[in-house]
Amino acid sequence: MPRTSGYAVPILALALGHVFSNAVRTLPALAADVLARDLGLGAQGLAALTAVLPFAFALAMVPVGIGLDRFGVRRTALSLLATGMAGAVMAAAAPNAAVMLLAQVVLGIGCAGMLMGPMTYAARAVAPAKFSLWSGIILTFGNTGMLLSGSPLAWLVDWQGWRAGFWAMAALAAIAFAAVALTVHQPPPARREPRSLLQDAREVLAIAASPRLRPLMVFAFASFAVVLGVRGLWGGPWLMEVKGYSRIEAGHVLSGCALALVVAPVACGWIDRWLQRPVLLLAGSHLIVAGLILALLAGRGLPLGFDALIFVLIGAVISFQMVTFGVIRGLVPAEQTGRALSAQNISFFGGAAIMQGVSGVAAAWGGIGAALASFALALLVCTLGYLGLRRKA
């Protein structure tokens, strides 16, 4: 497909949806205590509730991948943003855990294409040599959503309660919807042959299971699970309940982690382009983050500055996960880009959903520290699996 000019504004408009997605799915980290209290949930129940969003997200990736390639980025993104907005409104008004559960399903579906939209647009509009850089820019811009769910959310929850956070998310989704409607006009790619929706769905699943993507799928299983589990759920309870910090202090620490997630992807893109050693960067980053999580647990008696440093380092190093997008971009033709990236995201968010549930069981058994340790173990196992499958390929 020919490259297009003037792609920066549409890509950033689409990335606003990723800002919304990151903010709404990490919101529970600083509202977990009041959310659980108001909905009558324990630690395991809260983990199960928050696992529904990434689970619905992963299931929605098959139709999202089809939509991006068949109907184009614009129509797919607008449909998903409208769905996400509806989910945020449902969550804000939820009277009980059952309605909140349904809201999490709707939010998961709505958030499903918020990263793949700008990534797919960029893959079709940007020269291949610049795609790694733009992947970093998209992640950097999108990860600002985690800044919103840090200190600003802590202040908002203390002032107006957790429902106000979801109302703010609905407003953000509306802004993103308007930005995409006004700026994104890229048509879907020309199709080589007529295909049914069922054939497209089978192809997404076939790509996900293919030998060329299998190592990356194993890698991705634990990768985003760490972001969602450590930054998005258990980081706040660790800082407030275990370490005894206030909600505002915990918000500052988690904002530092979010800032690292904002700044680091562009730097990771540059490092990847310069070093050209994706396997080293991917495996090495996972192993380092596993060690950082264990260091966090070992520093239970250390002051706030230690926790802040560890959270920043986790955010910075885990950002090398963006290298996978460039690797996948080089493995498939342009007309399969949306499906291939969506296949990868099935593992990213399917792993996050499963690990949320596992961490909830761990928390019920051994406390918040055990929940965090489960993510370190997952990183080790999936990294070894990734390296082992690469040798067999």
The C-alpha atoms of residue 36 and residue 33 are separated, in whole angstroms, by: 5
- How close are the terminal C-alpha atoms of the chain, in Å? 29
The C-alpha atoms of residue 317 and residue 260 are separated, in whole angstroms, by: 9
Are 287 and 320 contacting, i.e. CB atoms less than 8 angstroms apart?
A: no
Q: What integer pLDDT is reported at residue 74 of this predicted model? A: 92
Query: Does pLDDT of 337 surpass 80?
Result: no
Query: Does pLDDT of 3 surpass 50?
Result: no
Lookup result for tokens 């990860």 = 143
**Token pair for 23:** 């903010």
**Token pair for 172:** 């953000």
Q: What integer pLDDT is reported at residue 196 of this predicted model? A: 65
**Token pair for 51:** 């696992």
The C-alpha atoms of residue 18 and residue 211 are separated, in whole angstroms, by: 29
| Nearest one of 174, 180, 184, 131 to 322, comparing CA atoms | 131
Are 168 and 27 contacting, i.e. CB atoms less than 8 angstroms apart?
A: no
Is 345 within the bounds of a domain? yes
Dihedral, CA of residue 369, residue 371, residue 377 and residue 382, to nearest 10? -150
DSSP tag of 241: I
- pLDDT, averaged across the chain: 86
As a whole number, mean pLDDT of residues 25-51 equals 80
The C-alpha atoms of residue 147 and residue 253 are separated, in whole angstroms, by: 11
The C-alpha atoms of residue 147 and residue 19 are separated, in whole angstroms, by: 9
- Return the minimum-mean-pLDDT range out of 295-299, 342-346, 374-378, 388-392: 342-346
Q: How many CB atoms lie within 10 A of CB 181?
A: 14
Q: What integer pLDDT is reported at residue 59 of this predicted model? A: 84
As a whole number, mean pLDDT of residues 287-311 equals 95
Q: In angstroms, what is the C-alpha Rg of the chain?
A: 19
Residue 310 belongs to domain with CATH number: 1.20.1250.20
Query: Does pLDDT of 2 surpass 50?
Result: no
Q: What integer pLDDT is reported at residue 136 of this predicted model? A: 77
Are 273 and 363 contacting, i.e. CB atoms less than 8 angstroms apart?
A: no
The model carries a pTM of 0.75
Using alpha carbons, list the distances in angstroms from residue 393 to 166, 221, 222, 386. Answer: 45, 19, 21, 11
As a whole number, mean pLDDT of residues 138-151 equals 81
Query: Does pLDDT of 191 surpass 70?
Result: no
User: Amino acid identity of 218?
Assistant: V
Q: How many domains does the chain have?
A: 1
**Token pair for 277:** 């050693």
- Between 70 and 234, name the one with better pLDDT: 234
Are 57 and 22 contacting, i.e. CB atoms less than 8 angstroms apart?
A: no
The per-residue pLDDT for range 54-73, each reduced to its tens digit, is: 888 888 877 887 788 778 88
Is 3 within the bounds of a domain? no
Are 24 and 169 contacting, i.e. CB atoms less than 8 angstroms apart?
A: yes
Q: How many CB atoms lie within 10 A of CB 133?
A: 18
At what angle are helices 337-366 and 43-70 packed, to 10 degrees? 180
Is 114 within the bounds of a domain? yes
Is 2 within the bounds of a domain? no
Are 373 and 229 contacting, i.e. CB atoms less than 8 angstroms apart?
A: no
The C-alpha atoms of residue 24 and residue 305 are separated, in whole angstroms, by: 27
Are 296 and 231 contacting, i.e. CB atoms less than 8 angstroms apart?
A: no
DSSP tag of 181: H
Q: What integer pLDDT is reported at residue 1 of this predicted model? A: 41
Query: Does pLDDT of 219 surpass 90?
Result: yes
Is 63 within the bounds of a domain? yes
Half-sphere exposure of 373 (CA within 13 A, CB side): 12
Band of residue 338 on the pLDDT scale cut at 50, 70, 90: low
Query: Does pLDDT of 393 surpass 60?
Result: no
As a whole number, mean pLDDT of residues 317-346 equals 78
Exposure b/e, 330-347, CB count within 10 A at least 16 = b: eebebebbbbbbbbbbbb
- Return the minimum-mean-pLDDT range out of 122-126, 189-193, 353-357: 189-193
- Return the minimum-mean-pLDDT range out of 40-54, 168-182, 271-285: 40-54
Q: How many CB atoms lie within 10 A of CB 174?
A: 16
At what angle are helices 73-93 and 97-111 packed, to 10 degrees? 160
Is 18 within the bounds of a domain? yes
Where in the sequence is the domain holding 62, given as residue range(s)? 8-183+203-392
pLDDT above 90 as % of the chain = 38
The per-residue pLDDT for range 79-130, each reduced to its tens digit, is: 999 999 999 999 999 999 899 999 999 999 999 889 888 988 888 888 777 7
pLDDT above 70 as % of the chain = 94
Query: Does pLDDT of 173 surpass 80?
Result: yes
Q: What integer pLDDT is reported at residue 221 of this predicted model? A: 93
Alpha-helical (H) ranges within the chain are: 8-26, 28-39, 43-70, 73-93, 97-111, 116-125, 128-142, 144-148, 151-160, 162-183, 197-209, 214-226, 235-237, 247-275, 278-298, 304-318, 323-329, 337-366, 368-392
